[in-house]
Structure 1
Amino acid sequence: MRFQAYTKEFSKNLKIAYPVMLGQLGHVLVGLADNIMVGQLGAAPLAAVSLGNSLIFIALSIGIGFSFAITPLIAEADGASDIEKGRSFFQHGIIMCLLNGFLLFALVWAVKPLLYYLDQPPEVVDLSLPYIDIVAFSLVPLMIFQAFKQFGDGLSQTKYAMYATIAANLVNVLFNYLLIYGVWIFPRLELEGAAIGTLISRFFMLGFLYFILKKKKKFSTYFIWAKKSLQKHIFKRLWNLGFPTALQMLFEVAIFTGSIFLAGTLGTNPQAANQVALNLASMTFMIAVGIGVTATIRVGNQKGRSDFVEMRRIAFSTFLLVFIIEAVFAIAFILLKDILPTYYIDNAEVIQIAAQLLVIAALFQLSDGLQVVILGALRGLQDVKIPTVICFISYWIIGFPVSYYTGKADVLGSMGIWLGLLAGLSASAIMLYIRFNYLSKKLINQGVVKTS
């Protein structure tokens, strides 16, 4: 197939993806705003935010993973023009996400004392605990928001969640400024102020998206609650897709969280540098997440139509698109490695370590982008169990041991930690590609047999 057969899909892919990219970047920018504003208070507060968010992100990955089950089901129903089925998935998904929000809040609150036993700097742990308490509660509105977002994504209406996220970021920056530093009539709360800003912004984000979707005529049918009682088989289908997806995200987020804990054993400055590099890498990763959601939507649509040849071509167009974009980011990281960290903190050692890490981050941009988009395509096929095993092997059998052994102070230190991340992401991208290539060819062959 000629190159143009894939590139001609770029404009449609980007039309769906760019609101998701901006929306996902919005979530990262909440952390970026916290990091930059808290970074002005010193290395220890910045490391505390890093440590606190590492715990929150583990819970967040589980919740978002479950919510991702909504999108392929809505996309398939939309491809088959079955509004009734789509409405059922949407409404059951809201209830699932609501329950997940409260469960995750309780989970974070229960496990936070474990931070004292992970060989972290004591002053960093002490600073992080009040921050964690407040941000953990923000998981409740965020999970409900995710239900509405994934519903909109499944219908290829990705722009409304973007509007909500951008508006929420403005709210977050405003309250961060007022509450971290104690401006005007507001008290100086430092880290707790950053956490309160995040909490306020997430409630605002949920309310904003709810009212936008509810008043739009195209969504009105979905907001009419079904007369039938809740159905066990719908929850089971959401679980069968959501639980493996949650594990996929958990395995990946956990290895990055593990890098934070490993960096903490090297000291406060390496941990702060690790957070700077991770935050920058997270922003480029969210671009790939947007294309991954696009892959889920478009593959799910074609699955609903049983057009597997077109499905494979469209999926490969998303793989090529993310490869090109991430290559550009990789070059930018290398060229700007000494400049980007200076926007976070004025500490020569932290800046030097972060610059070294950005070189490795540049290398794994390609693997990271490809693996998340291929995962999205597999999710569109509703193939989640084997990819979950692949993620576990890649990150925890291959990646983390490399990080652990080469990340010790007497070996390669921070650089060794990130070499493990590179190994895990590369293994994941290769194995997931093999899986999608196999499944898509199998579906095409089955279609040919049925037709003949």
Structure 2
Amino acid sequence: MFRQYTREFRYNIRLSIPVILGMLGHTFVAFADNIMVGQLGTAELAAVSLGNSFVFIAMSLGIGFSTAITPLVAEADGAGLKSDAKRALKHGLVLCTLLGLSLFVLILLLKPLMYMMDQPAEVVVLAIPYLDLVAFSLVPLVMFQAFKQFSEGLSQTKYPMYATILANVINIVLNYLLIFGAFGFPKMGIVGAAVGTLVSRFVMLAFLWILLNKKQKFHYYVSAFNFRELERKVMKKIIDLGFPSALQMFFEVAIFTAAIWLSGVLGKNPQAANQIALNLSSMTFMFGMGLGVAAMIRVGNQKGLKDWSELRRIAQSIFFLTLLLEIGFAVLFLLCRHWFPTIYLDVDDLANQADNMEVIGLAAQLLLVAAFFQISDGLQVVILGALRGLQDVKIPTGITFVSYWLIAFPISYVLGLHTELGSTGIWIGLLSGLTASAIMLYLRFNHLTKKLALEQANN
């Protein structure tokens, strides 16, 4: 029984590991920023959290939109249509560049909202200059995503990983030099962290393009673009897939951002604790994201081959692998929930000891809830990837909206701000929404693929 699923594990892991490492790379930028900035104090850590909350919402739209490129390239690759894959990259790159610039401008226009959100004044003052630079880094990041999604659509997942690793090294070095003013560099505090992020993302984009252009198997796809000849039909197809995919990611990231803002209403220490728990959960979430990309690639390939029964078996194998992995993460969070928060704060800092100990205690409570939503969070993102591989995006978008904004947010708001649960209540709401999303998305996938397999069997 299980053999038909477990025999796919090795290939799925091999396909997803470079994606996971690349995704972890993006999260590790925030992890490095948080650890280094956390040494400056809880107000600085809360400021990075607040600034990144704006950036993460915009980033979710950019990354979500770019995922439209992968299933189109995977389907073209499965069908042996190289020219279609190149068209998907060219048009996707144009749209991603325009979107990155638009998101940067939008964040600049929305900055005054920080003063209206009932956040601690000292946190807002620190967050604004940090936000300016990190917002501009969205432009190279979303352009990078276009090349990344294309490469993954051809089942070549390691090259974006190399670029992300390089970017992380640059980011950490610049953080150390500019946050603390090491080796004669100016001491810039959290603005130094923003400079490191901006520079590393431009390097990441340039490195990936050079790498792909020099590889013979990619040269046809990534060179000799004629941007004066853009096809309305291809643009429309990418937008029709990309816009709902962007909304799906936006709805999820926005609910976690709402958790940051709700925590900020409770005070700087709950907000700092929320940031620690969120950063740790984000790192484990990247494993689900990587497996979700593997599901999108493999389902997209089978869609190109029109083999629906095999598509179901492969997708369910990835779901099963995800379930086993996320149970492991749940156990890890339960066992280490009191130790993990101490990585972020200086427990020997006598001047801030009371604040630091309060943050560590609050974060441990949040990680207890996070242990349980590992499973539903991982499953929902992998099932969503499989549905994107099928190019089924509209109904899943509705499911994510209902799960996060009609279920999760009201529960988070009421339990977080109107009961003694506080931050823990906010995260109970997140757990409720993620669980609802996982269940409804699986029912959608199962219904759709059963119907396709049955139609094929009858023909």
TM class by shorter chain equals over 0.9
Spell out the pairing of 1:251-400 with structure 2 (5 A cutoff).
251-345=251-345, 346=347, 347-400=356-409
- Does residue 143 of structure 1 match 2:152? no
Q: 1:192 to 1:226 in 2, by over 3 A?
A: closer
Q: Is the 8 A contact 1:71 1:151 kept in 2?
A: yes
Q: Residue 20 of structure 1 aligns with which residue? A: 19
Question: Any residues of structure 2 matched to 1:45-444 within 5 Å, and which?
Answer: 45-225=44-224, 229-345=229-345, 346=347, 347-408=356-417, 410-444=419-453
Number of positions where the alignment pairs a residue of Structure 1 with one of Structure 2 = 449
TM superposition shift of 1:280: 0.2
Matches of 1:70 and 1:225 in 2, distance apart? 19
Q: 1:245-269, CA deviations, whole angstroms, 9 ceiling, x for partnerless residues?
A: 0000000000000000000011000
Distance in 1 of aligned mates of 2:131 and 2:358 = 27
> 1:164-221: CA deviations, max 9, x gaps?
1011100000000000000112100001000000001001111111110000011111
Q: Do the aligned residues in 2 keep the contact of 1:88 with 1:226 (CA within 8 Å)?
A: no
Other-structure match for 2:351: none
8 Å contact kept, 2:104–2:136: yes
Q: Find the aligned partners of 1:35 and 1:333 in 2 and give their Cα distance.
A: 19
Q: In angstroms, what is the RMSD of aligned CA positions?
A: 0.9
Q: Is the 8 A contact 2:213 2:223 kept in 1?
A: no
Q: Structure 2 CA distance, aligned partners of 1:225 and 1:65?
A: 27
Cα deviation, residue 226, structure 1: 5.5
Residues of 1 paired with 2:283 and 2:382: CA distance?
A: 15
| Matches of 2:393 and 2:200, distance apart in 1 | 32
Give distance in 2, aligned partners of 1:81 and 1:279. 40
Amino acid in the other structure paired with 1:215? K
CA distance in 1, matches of 2:177, 2:416: 39
Give, in whole Å, the separation in 1 of the partners of 2:408 and 2:420.
16
Letter in 1 for 2:442: Y
Residues 186 and 424 (structure 1), Cα distance of their counterparts in 2 relative to 1, 3 Å cut: same
Q: What's the CA shift string for 1:70-112, capped at 9, x where partnerless?
A: 0000000000000011111111111111111100100111101
Q: Partners of 2:225 and 2:183 in 1: how far apart?
A: 49
Instruction: Output the amino acid matched with 2:13.
Output: L
Structure 1 runs of 4+ aligned residues shifted over 2 Å read 223-228
> 1:185 and 1:173 mapped to 2: Cα distance?
17
- Find the aligned partners of 1:174 and 1:223 in 2 and give their Cα distance: 30
Percent of pairs with identical residues = 60
Task: Name the CA distance, whole Å, in 2 between partners of 1:58 and 1:71.
Answer: 21
The answer to whether the Cα contact below 8 Å between 2:263 and 2:423 also exists between their aligned partners in 1 is yes
Normalization by structure 1: what TM-score? 0.98
Contact 1:91/1:225 (CA < 8 Å) preserved in 2? Answer: no
Q: Measure the CA separation in 1 of the matches of 2:101 and 2:30.
A: 22
Unpaired runs of 5+ residues, structure 2, are 348-355
Distance in 1 between the 2:395 and 2:249 partners? 14
Instruction: State the distance in 2 between where 1:431 and 1:357 align.
Output: 25
| Cα distance in structure 2, aligned partners of 1:134 and 1:224 | 30
Question: Residue deviations 1:310-353, cap 9 Å, x none?
Answer: 10000001100111111001000000011000000131000000
State which of 440, 445, 450 in structure 1 corresponds to 2:454. Answer: 445
Checking the alignment, whether the CA contact within 8 Å between 1:135 and 1:195 is kept in structure 2 is yes
Alpha-carbon distance between aligned partners in 1 of 2:458 and 2:107, rounded to the nearest angstrom = 51
Range 214-223 or range 227-236, more displaced = 227-236
Question: Letter of the aligned partner of 2:302 in structure 1?
Answer: Q
Deviates further, 225-234 or 419-428: 225-234
Shift in Å, 1:408: 1.5
Q: 401-410 or 252-261, which moves further after superposition?
A: 401-410
Which amino acid in the other structure matches residue 423 of structure 2?
A: S
- Return the letter of the residue paired with 2:364: A
Structure 2: which amino acid aligns with 1:353? L
User: Unaligned stretches of 5+ in structure 1?
Assistant: none
Q: Secondary structure at the match of 1:383?
A: coil
Distance in 2 (alpha carbons) for counterparts of 1:116 and 1:373: 37
Q: CA–CA distance in 2 between the matches of 1:66 and 1:138?
A: 17
